[in-house]
Amino acid sequence: MVTRHLVNSNQLRFGTSPRNDLLLDLWTGLYAPYENSALVTSMLTEGFLMRIDEENGIEEVQLGYKRNPFEYVDKVIFEITTVCNLDCNHCYNAQVPRLTEKDPRLLMKVADTFLNMGVRRFDFIGGEVSLYGTGWLEVAKHIHSRDADAHISLFSNGWWLEHEGFRAAGRHYENTQAYLEELRAHGISHVVFSLDGPGEEHDQSRHQSGLFEKILRGLDTVREAGLMPRVSLLVRPDWAPAKREAFLAEIAAHLYELDPGFPTQKRALRLALDPSNSVSNFIDTGNGAGDSRIQFPVLDHGELPPLYCRNFYRLSPSLTIKANGELATCRLSQAGEGYGNIHERPLVEILNDFDQAFVFQLHASRNLEEYLPLVDRSIFGSSFTHLCSLRSIVTLLARKLHEQQVAWDDKAAIQRINREVAAVTGYPV
């Protein structure tokens, strides 16, 4: 991915340096004989080169190129913290350990790697990163110093709006305007507020009276400070299509300058098609586990849709660096982890070995369904609001069986692992 970006941006040309010549030779020919030189040793250390066994033919190398998991990645999500000041009704991370990344310099190195891969968007999320994040603004400033046009977003529940004399991530601010000035000075380009529904529905979900209207006013406040306001919307399955469309259209009217006669449907579409926003479905894990308003009987009724998810092996549009250091594909509980931890292995090494991870192979080989009979229905029931709930549960179950080397006929161990999975996905044990 790094070489592809350098080629596409015309930064690599033959004859400019031995390093560039070697990269371009490999780009066009895929592999070359190994030579013991300072250049090759350096590039091996950086992860630009990998040594392969002579027995591996060109077909195996070509397959590695074709299955490039990062071809469609255009943003990186830094989950700086899982600590939050709210306890929202739908939160899918409600039961995961409370952690905050403490090494901003490591995240700067991670950001450098992704910048070299051509990634130009970075989202800072939590938990509530604006309140409990450590050093995240320095990471944002570092990214901005490398690329002044980078899209850098803060995701927030908006707790700091219309506040005076407050502390955010360990710093004191006189008021909201002072905080926004600080964000802008550190390279933040977008501020994204979470909304769980219109009016009272959002306030009830967040257990914060008046928060919805405060956020609507805050969109203008952010814009006046020279930043781009955007939203992360939660859409529930029990909403009628008309309600969903009206909700998106209402928010779009606050985000964009639209003609008063612009139809509701097109307003909603304008918001949904803007990649700066996020529109996600309600997933019944974490605090949402066991939601009884609507059930999707994926286990017992009708033909089960394919359980595998392409995002576990063909990421699009993002990947996440979790607060625990794990590189993750899916943000539901801990289902998307298992590829490597930046505190334990260099990021380049994790990326180069990504397709060797058990979770990658599990989904790419369509083997997830094999583990479905091992799900303990006395814990998880037989229906889910969203297929991703079942998918994350089975993925976690399979990964734990693999990591703990549990035999399929070890019923006691499988029951124990079901309880471990339930503990992080919100289901009562």
- Which residue among 46, 66, 86 closes a domain? 66
- Which residue among 18, 48, 66 closes a domain? 66
Residues 275 and 204 in one domain: yes
Residues 84 and 169 in one domain: yes
Average pLDDT, the chain: 92
Residues 62 and 202 in one domain: no
In this prediction, residue 159 has a pLDDT band, given cuts at 50, 70 and 90, of very high
- 303 belongs to a structural domain: no
In this prediction, residue 179 has a pLDDT band, given cuts at 50, 70 and 90, of very high
Name the β-bridge partners of 77.
Answer: 123, 320
Residues 189 and 45 in one domain: no
In this prediction, residue 308 has a pLDDT band, given cuts at 50, 70 and 90, of very high
In this structure, what is the dihedral angle of CA atoms 104, 108, 113, 118, given to the nearest 10 degrees?
Answer: 120
DSSP string of 39-80, one letter each residue: HHHHHHHHTS-----TTS-HHHHHHHHHT-TTTT--EEEEE-
Residues 104 and 60 in one domain: no
Predicted pLDDT at 295: 59
Cβ neighbours of residue 98 under 8 Å, at least 6 residues apart?
Answer: 82, 83
Return d(Cα 332, Cα 281) in angstroms, integer: 12
In the predicted model, what is the mean pLDDT of residues 218-231? 98
Residues 110 and 204 in one domain: yes
Residues 82 and 230 in one domain: yes
Residues 30 and 161 in one domain: no
Q: pLDDT for 331-369, tens place per residue?
A: 998 999 999 999 999 999 999 889 999 999 999 999 999
* CB distance 233 to 254 below 8 Å: no
**Lowest model confidence (mean pLDDT) among 63-77, 147-161, 265-279, 359-373:** 63-77
64-71, long-range: CB within 8 Å, 24+ apart, which pairs?
A: 64/355, 65/30, 67/313, 67/355, 67/364, 68/1, 69/313, 69/314, 69/315, 69/354, 69/355, 69/360, 70/1, 70/117, 70/315, 70/319, 70/351, 70/354, 71/1, 71/314
**Is the confidence at residue 183, as pLDDT, over 70?**
yes
Residues 58 and 125 in one domain: no
- Which residue among 38, 66, 94 closes a domain? 66
Residues 44 and 143 in one domain: no
Query: Is the pTM of the predicted complex or chain greater than 0.85?
Result: yes
Highest mean pLDDT (candidates 87-96, 286-295, 302-311, 381-390) = 87-96
| Total number of domains in the chain | 2
In this prediction, residue 45 has a pLDDT band, given cuts at 50, 70 and 90, of confident
Which 3 state secondary structure label does DSSP give 18?
A: helix
Predicted pLDDT at 31: 81
Helix axis angle for 136-146 and 104-116, nearest 10°, is 30
- 404 belongs to a structural domain: no
- 356 belongs to a structural domain: no
Q: pLDDT for 3-14, tens place per residue?
A: 888 888 888 888
Q: pLDDT for 69-122, tens place per residue?
A: 998 999 999 999 999 999 999 999 999 999 999 999 999 999 999 999 999 999
In the predicted model, what is the mean pLDDT of residues 62-67? 75
In the predicted model, what is the mean pLDDT of residues 46-58? 78
In this prediction, residue 181 has a pLDDT band, given cuts at 50, 70 and 90, of very high
Predicted pLDDT at 423: 95
Residues 267 and 323 in one domain: yes
Residues 121 and 170 in one domain: yes
CATH code assigned at 171:
3.20.20.70
Question: In terms of residue numbers, what domain contains 51?
Answer: 2-66
In this prediction, residue 172 has a pLDDT band, given cuts at 50, 70 and 90, of very high
Q: Which of 102, 101, 114 is nearest to 151 (CA)?
A: 114
**Is the confidence at residue 375, as pLDDT, over 60?**
yes
- 61 belongs to a structural domain: yes
- 169 belongs to a structural domain: yes
- 354 belongs to a structural domain: no
- 229 belongs to a structural domain: yes
**Is the confidence at residue 150, as pLDDT, over 90?**
yes
- 355 belongs to a structural domain: no
